[in-house]
Structure 1
Amino acid sequence: MRELPAGHDAIVLDFGDEDLPLAAVGRAAAALRGASESGALSVGDIVPTAHTVLVQAERGAGLDMLGVHRALRGVSADDMSADGDSAEVRIPVVYDGPDLDEVADIVDTTPDDVIDLHTTTVWRVQFMGFAPGFGYLVPRDGGDHPFDRVGRRSEARTRVPSGAIAIAAGYSAVYPRTSPGGWQLLGHTSIPMWDETADPPARLAPGSLVRFVVDE
């Protein structure tokens, strides 16, 4: 892990040199969130990405680096900390996506097996981005996954409907609103991912556990 200064009140923890950066980021973010929630670490925000975690103190407060190091000390490859205790967000899916057959060909299996693989995987929100409410989901258990072989489409769609369930490059996601997109579409859900009148407006947050279920 490298520590990269980000001003007087923040630091970026870079796990890009780890064997499994996504897993390392997940463990670190979970440990930091746990320390923050318990009061052992005072921070304003913890923002994970694919390879890094931004730890931001309240403006002008200065960052408690000793507390950050203490929170990260002893985190092991088997310890997902607070993530392991998170309640699952269950998302019902109608698996009628236009890319289902192509995904099955890529992973050398059947469409029914793709659906089974997507629903039996417990997913974790690694980070939020792209659009409000868009969560980048990774398999909670880390390691190799058959969907790692599924890349983005060679040509992006100009319009992906709100609620589309998609995968690409080892991630899964739900499109929170209609937008362009290049991910492989497996199906759709009627559950809103973003509601600006709700508190909080996003259904998902970094660290949330997600399970997709077949909508009968």
Structure 2
Amino acid sequence: MRIRPVGAHALLLDCAASSPPDTLDVAARVEGWRAELWRRRERGELIAVEIVPAATTVLLDGVPDPTATAALLAGWTPTPATTTAAAPTVEVPVTYDGEDLPTVADHWDVDVPTVVERLAGTSFRVAFCGFAPGFAYLTGLPAELAVPRLPSPRPRVPAGSVALAGPYAGIYPSASPGGWLLVGRTTVTLFDVTADPPARLGPGTRVRLAPA
């Protein structure tokens, strides 16, 4: 893990850089550090306004003394295997009727019912959020089941669409353009500015895409 200064009051943890090398994949390192930093902040051992995980990094923003904080981080070792054991699980009811289900089945070399069975039986976890408010990138599928995005994005994907792209699953919280492969839909509201927190699926949350 490499620590880089960002501006005057932020640090970026580069979890793709592992020295010495370890057997954890980058996503596991990111989740390990995210959970560790959240715990440390709750215990008063870390001061940071924001802790923001991404695909390969974790950003700490609003750090009063970045140099001192970097020295603290260098002495901490997260435990990814247990960081999300007690994480909450959100069950999202999904109607599996997406127009790209046959395409996913072809990529996986299975039939459509098997695609649905695999998705419904996978324990997903929110790795990070981005793209649009409330859009959670869900990990949990084996690397060999990664699928490509569409060659050209659709101009409008309906809110609640459940989709796959690369190694991730995701649910569109609002209507927007998008190039992910559509496998289903849900009526669950995933982002509401009047709620606390506004995003229903935050980093570390376990998600089950249960058949509706």
Same-fold call, TM > 0.5? yes
Superposed displacement of residue 127, structure 1 = 1.0
Structure 2, unaligned stretches of length 5 or more? 19-23
Alpha-carbon deviation of 1:114? 0.8
Superposition RMSD on alpha carbons, in Å? 1.7
Aligned-pair identity (%) = 39
Q: TM-score, normalised by structure 2?
A: 0.90
Name the counterpart of 2:28: 23
Structure 1 runs (4+) deviating above 6 angstroms are: none
Mapped pair 1:114 → 2:115: yes
Q: Deviations over 1:115-152 (max 9, x none)?
A: 1111111111111111111011111xx8x44422x111
Deviation at 1:12, TM superposition (A): 0.4
* Contact kept in structure 2, 1:41 and 1:68, CA below 8 Å: no
Return the alpha-carbon distance in structure 2 between the equivalents of residues 41 and 22 of structure 1.
22
Distance 1:115 1:39 in 2: 44
8 Å contact kept, 1:50–1:127: yes
8 Å Cα contact 1:165-1:186 kept in structure 2: yes
Partner of 2:181: 184
CA contact (8 A) 1:40 1:67 kept: no
Aligned partner of 1:162 among 159, 163, 167: 159
2: CA distance, partners of 1:38 / 1:123: 27
Match of residue 6 from structure 1: 6
Q: Equivalent residue for 2:21?
A: none
Q: 1:62 aligns with which of 52, 61, 65?
A: 65
Residue aligning to 2:41:
36
- Aligned-residue offset at 1:66: 3.9
Name the residue aligned to 1:175.
Answer: 172
In the aligned structure 2, how far is the partner of 1:113 from the partner of 1:36? 42
Letter in 2 for 1:62: D
8 Å contact kept, 1:147–1:167: no
Does 2:183 match 1:213?
A: no
Contact 1:147–1:168 at 8 Å: present in 2 too?
A: no
User: What secondary structure does 1:203 align onto?
Assistant: coil
TM-score (norm 1): 0.88
Which stretch of the first structure deviates more once superposed, 31-40 or 159-168? 31-40
Between the aligned partners of 2:39 and 2:113, the Cα distance in structure 1 is 38
Q: Any unmatched runs of 5+ in structure 1?
A: none
What letter corresponds to residue 111 of structure 1 in structure 2? Answer: V
2:191 to 194, 197, 210: 194
